[in-house]
Amino acid sequence: MNLSSSDSIRSPRFFHVETDADFAAAFPVIVQLRPHLTLETFRERVRRQWQEGYRLAALEADGRVRSLAGYRIQHFLWADRLLYIDDLITDADSRSRQFGEQLFLHVKEIAIAAGCTDLHLDSGTHRVEAHRFYFRQRMVIDNFHFALKLTPAAP
C-alpha cells in the first residue's frame, strides 16, 4: 500500500480497554458495530462481562483507536479450549489499511499463547465485507448459529 506522508502510520499500539479514557477512545469505533450502545452502557456492559472473562483488545495508530476485538477464552466439550471473538470492528475510515488484520493476528497470538485449540466468531449474515475479510484470514464456515429471543422473567 502506498501512503502519502500525511497518511503515514507509526507502529500500532495494542492494549486492552480498561480505563474511562480507553472507553471514550474506543466508543466511536464500537458504536459502528453496536449502534444501540451509549458510552455509559458500553462501559457498564464491558465491565460486567469482565467477570465472565471478556477482554476488549484495541489497536491504536496515530493517536486513534482504529480497530477493536472483544473476546473471551472458553472451554467446551466439542473443542476443549477456544478463544471466541464476540466483537470485531475496524473504524470505517480506517478500513483497507490492515488494522483489522493486525488486530486479528494479535488476538490469534493471544489464543495460541493461552493454549487454545480453536478461534471462533459469529458474523451477521448481512456483513458481506466482513466475511471476505474472515475468508482471507483462512477462516471457514463450519456451523450454523441459531438464535431465539427470550423475554426474561421479572425479578
- Parse the chain into domains and list their residue ranges: 10-136
pLDDT digits (tens, 9 = 90+) for 61-83: 999 999 999 999 999 998 889 99
Other residues' Cβ atoms within 10 Å of the Cβ of residue 131: 15
Mean pLDDT of 16-26: 98
The whole-angstrom separation of Cα 74 and Cα 53 is 8
pTM, two decimals, is 0.83
Cβ atoms of residues 68 and 79 within 8 Å:
no
H/E element, 119: strand 118-121
Mean pLDDT of 94-118: 94
Look at residue 5 and tell me whether its pLDDT is greater than 50: no
pLDDT digits (tens, 9 = 90+) for 38-61: 999 999 999 999 999 999 999 999
Q: Can you say how many angstroms the Cα of residue 139 is from the centroid of all Cα atoms in its chain? A: 15
CATH architecture of 10-136: 3-Layer(aba) Sandwich (3.40)
For the chain, give the mean pLDDT.
89
